[in-house]
A and B are shown apart, each in its own frame.
Chain A
Amino acid sequence: MADTYQEIIFWVIAVVMVVAAFRVVTTRNVVHAALYLVATLLGVAGMYILLLAEFLAWAQVLVYVGAIVVLMLFGLMLTRAPIGSRDYDNDQRLPAAIVAGVLFAVMSWILIDAFEGMKVDLADPELARRGIPTEAVGDSIFSNYVLPFEAVSVLLLAALIGAVLMARKDEAPPPTQAEREA
């Protein structure tokens, strides 16, 4: 029974996500695209909860919905994209659709073929008891994967400084010695 609930919830979230994702890449209004992305990202968070990854789900909500989408909206407004007034697509829509369709067909065929028998069963008491607690994720980050973790920290710092440096408006040149003394 639990399995069917899981499947019902999966299909509801999956349909919402896919429709919203289609709207992200097809809508004519850039702000709507960002807001549809929010629906897709929340759906991904729902998928994480379905897969018993609750910490990751909240990280997803905080980082993606809370920070990245807001950053995107800032970007849209700072670049003063003319909202809804013109087409945002280039003239490669048909080839792009063909490439995406072929990619989806090949990937889903390979994935279904390779992982046919594998199941994730929430009704299984063993999985529900064992799960993957946040504790295990933290242990894993700070024992086996501490080096990539540090690398990510340094990367984030570099990205932060780089973004500030690049997006900053050029100021007037610093005053010369003579001006300062005057």
Chain B
Amino acid sequence: MPISFFLVLSALLFSIGVYGVLARANAVLILLSIELMLNAVNINLVAFSAVMGSAVGQVFALFVIAIAAAEVGIGLAIVILIFRNRQTVDVEDMSLLKW
């Protein structure tokens, strides 16, 4: 099957993730959308690894998975800290540094 199926699928997932990041107001839901985008990138890496017959794409997909785990841990810690200080996770309310 043509590799462009996988590439277009991952482009679609990435665009949905971009929409989520731009349109959502809850910080945890924004983190969920970022996960969608990271997974879209991973599909691309693995698809190219299968076509090229090289393991490097899978290696980097594994690195992306590990870094996504770190990102979620830190991201949620920050969100919880903001919630504890301001009793909200709505990014529209976090306008302290906005001019």
Contact = CB atoms under 8 A, between A and B. Distances in A.
A156 B69 CA distance: 8
Q: For this complex, into which size category does the number of interface residues on chain B fall?
A: 35 or more
A30 B17 CA distance: 16
Contacts of A104: 11-12, 14-15
B28 A10 contact: no
A40 to B, nearest CB: 7
B24 A68 contact: no
Given A18-B12, A120-B47, A75 B79 contact: yes
Contacts, number: 251
A130 B54 CA distance: 10
A159 B73 contact: yes
Contacts of A63: 65-66, 68-69
Given A14-B9, A120-B50, A141-B62, A25 B74 contact: no
Interface string B48-78: 0111011110110111011111111110111
A79 B80 contact: yes
Contact of A75 (B62, B66, B76): B76
A48 B39 CA distance: 11
A59 B28 contact: no
Given A81-B26, A90-B92, 20 more contacts: A10-B1, A18-B16, A24-B16, A24-B20, A25-B20, A41-B35, A59-B65, A64-B68, A71-B76, A75-B80, A88-B24, A93-B23, A100-B16, A112-B4, A119-B1, A119-B2, A120-B51, A160-B73, A164-B77, A166-B80
5 contacts: A24-B16, A112-B8, A118-B2, A156-B69, A166-B74
